[in-house]
Chain A
């Protein structure tokens, strides 16, 4: 991959400013995370609508629920590790169960803070968040999709959990791409097997497909931006039409992989391999190195596909 790469936080910050200009109900709620969320310009433009509660995640999510009760559209922006784990009960009770219109934006999720160690990793979030009724869970792949998802969230009535990555990723989608919640995107057709990836691993899945194609193995590549509600029909079709599925995610394999496994087991049993983090705290290393280590490099994904194809 020699193409230009992007930090999706820039697209997030631009999309937030645009959403706030378009709708005065839009506010951000942060836990001393203005800089790490790249919201400095937003705070300058909308000082009153930037609510920084300090380092207090339970309070942060509760305050956001109250703002939604008061007619605002709050975007909570905080490091994924603290947002998901520290405020889990507020996400469950104050946001999802209370049906408050709060958007939870997990910055630098997965292993983006790779070398800071497991306290700062957020690889459990897909698995945790997809268990909460009514909560939409989304992981955009690149700047174009990040901007699309933020714009969708601002107009969508209902709670959502959205990952925004700081890990450099190449552009996957052209300008004009339209995000459709709950729908998979077929990025490449093929019948030998299907790779289902989400977020930062989509570009890696496409690179793996290139390696396989060089050997005459044509695989289908599905991007799955919405972990929940999952596009079950696309999963079943992928298994039925290709014979085997490989999932790839920057998370525990009980996230996207778990969701796909449940659909296949109930609706269309098929061979499945899940690439991601297993039952251990990740060791220290950069995000890219950690992903490679668990088999999410293009070569690693291709090797796993060959077990099925």
Chain B
């Protein structure tokens, strides 16, 4: 796995997108191997948010490994509310230079810093210990209010699953953020349409989601969440006078053929053969990206 670090300063849009696409592919390659070795994980929902994670940590957020290590109070915050996607977070942090890649080998092992759900007590770049759903948005509202009190421009991002929005605590927090017009807060909703055992629409439907969020006082942006060129501008621009909800339309398991939009891949563990298929498909993407680089 290559440690790519942040997008270099002064990169053009095309260069930045290329860097982030490489990073996302590296993350997915490493993540599927991690789950294959640990024999546990949540690959489907990790692959749906990988593009968002790398775009934030390697480009959009005002954060760096140095700021994290120093505990810079002015760093932007990312709260991973869907904490079960921890492996994608860890791997994105490693590709971004925030976490030593060797640590990934210890995922889920005894005494590892890499729990099945992220812990800030163990990894400096993690902001809150998440795992139970419906916790991240209230915490993000708190960090956003703290920035307002400080008169700081720092931003807070929170990454939520769509199934997770069935938790009522989110709607308490949507209401508070809308009421307080927290324009420094951006919530990314990973709209992969699947929850643990079924389609969201068949379980407890969210629609009309955008209308609900607008009614709660949020600006809504709908983008293809697996398209970095679309995600990047949506994430870069904060709200003008209210919080922003990005409904990131994604596929669980993206882009691996046998996982994509398949409800079986919430926490299914790939066989060695399936790891091989995923790697071959991801290597194909990597090859096309590198060919583009060489042209």
A61: nearest chain-B partner, CB-CB: B138
CB-CB under 8 A from B156, the residues of chain A are: 66
CB-CB under 8 A from B131, the residues of chain A are: 93
A228 CB within 8 Å of chain B: no
Q: How far is the CB of B285 from chain A (nearest CB, A)?
A: 36
In the bound assembly, the distance between CA atoms of A93 and B175 in angstroms comes to 22
A70 CB within 8 Å of chain B: yes
In the bound assembly, the distance between CA atoms of A27 and B142 in angstroms comes to 11
B187 CB within 8 Å of chain A: no
Contact with B150, one of A53, A66, A68, A71 (Cβ below 8 angstroms): A71
Cβ contact within 8 Å between B138 and A27: no
B142: nearest chain-A partner, CB-CB: A66
B130: nearest chain-A partner, CB-CB: A93
In the bound assembly, the distance between CA atoms of A93 and B132 in angstroms comes to 8
B139 CB within 8 Å of chain A: yes
Contact with B173, one of A27, A59, A71 (Cβ below 8 angstroms): A59
Interface membership of chain A positions 42-66, coded 1 if the CB is closer than 8 angstroms to chain B and 0 otherwise: 0000001101011010111111111
Stretch at the interface among A94-102, A142-150, A192-200: A94-102
Q: Do A62 and B142 form a contact, CB below 8 Å, given A53-B172, A54-B176?
A: yes
Within 8 A of A (CB), among B72-96: 73, 77, 79
Cβ contact within 8 Å between A72 and B149: yes
B120 CB within 8 Å of chain A: yes
- How many residue pairs link A and B with beta carbons under 8 A? The number is 112
Q: How far is the CB of A31 from chain B (nearest CB, A)?
A: 10
Interface size on B, residues (CB 8 A): 34
Contact with A98, one of B77, B120, B172, B175 (Cβ below 8 angstroms): B120
CB-CB under 8 A from B67, the residues of chain A are: none
Cβ contact within 8 Å between B73 and A64: no
CB-CB under 8 A from A59, the residues of chain B are: 138, 141, 169, 172-173, 176
A201 CB within 8 Å of chain B: no
CB-CB under 8 A from A89, the residues of chain B are: 132, 135
Cβ contact within 8 Å between A94 and B121: no
A102: nearest chain-B partner, CB-CB: B142
Interface membership of chain B positions 150-167, coded 1 if the CB is closer than 8 angstroms to chain A and 0 otherwise: 100000100000000000
Q: Do A70 and B129 form a contact, CB below 8 Å, given A56-B176, A58-B138?
A: no
B144 CB within 8 Å of chain A: yes
CB-CB under 8 A from B137, the residues of chain A are: 62
A67 CB within 8 Å of chain B: yes
CB-CB under 8 A from A226, the residues of chain B are: none
CB-CB under 8 A from B175, the residues of chain A are: 54, 56
A74: nearest chain-B partner, CB-CB: B142
Contact with A99, one of B120, B147, B169, B176 (Cβ below 8 angstroms): B120
B127 CB within 8 Å of chain A: yes
In the bound assembly, the distance between CA atoms of A218 and B240 in angstroms comes to 71
Cβ contact within 8 Å between B145 and A69: no
Q: Do A62 and B129 form a contact, CB below 8 Å, given A53-B176, A67-B145, A67-B146?
A: no
Cβ contact within 8 Å between B149 and A69: no
Q: How far is the CB of B12 from chain A (nearest CB, A)?
A: 34
Cβ contact within 8 Å between B77 and A69: yes
CB-CB under 8 A from A58, the residues of chain B are: 134, 138, 168-169, 172
CB-CB under 8 A from B132, the residues of chain A are: 89, 93
Cβ contact within 8 Å between B128 and A94: yes
Q: How far is the CB of A117 from chain B (nearest CB, A)?
A: 25
Q: Do A65 and B142 form a contact, CB below 8 Å, given A59-B176, A89-B132?
A: yes
In the bound assembly, the distance between CA atoms of A64 and B173 in angstroms comes to 12
B140 CB within 8 Å of chain A: yes
CB-CB under 8 A from B73, the residues of chain A are: 70-71
B195 CB within 8 Å of chain A: no
Q: How far is the CB of A149 from chain B (nearest CB, A)?
A: 24
B143 CB within 8 Å of chain A: yes
Within 8 A of B (CB), among A92-137: 93-94, 97-100
B126: nearest chain-A partner, CB-CB: A98
Contact with B142, one of A49, A64, A97 (Cβ below 8 angstroms): A64
Cβ contact within 8 Å between B135 and A66: no
A90 CB within 8 Å of chain B: yes
B117: nearest chain-A partner, CB-CB: A93
Cβ contact within 8 Å between A98 and B129: yes
CB-CB under 8 A from A67, the residues of chain B are: 142-143, 145-146
23 A-B contact pairs sorted by A residue (CB < 8 Å): A56-B175, A56-B176, A58-B134, A58-B169, A60-B138, A62-B137, A62-B173, A63-B138, A63-B139, A63-B142, A63-B145, A65-B128, A66-B156, A68-B142, A69-B146, A70-B142, A70-B145, A70-B150, A90-B135, A94-B138, A97-B119, A97-B121, A100-B128
Identify the 8 closest CB pairs spanning chains A and B, nearest first: A66-B142, A70-B146, A62-B138, A59-B172, A56-B172, A63-B142, A58-B169, A66-B139
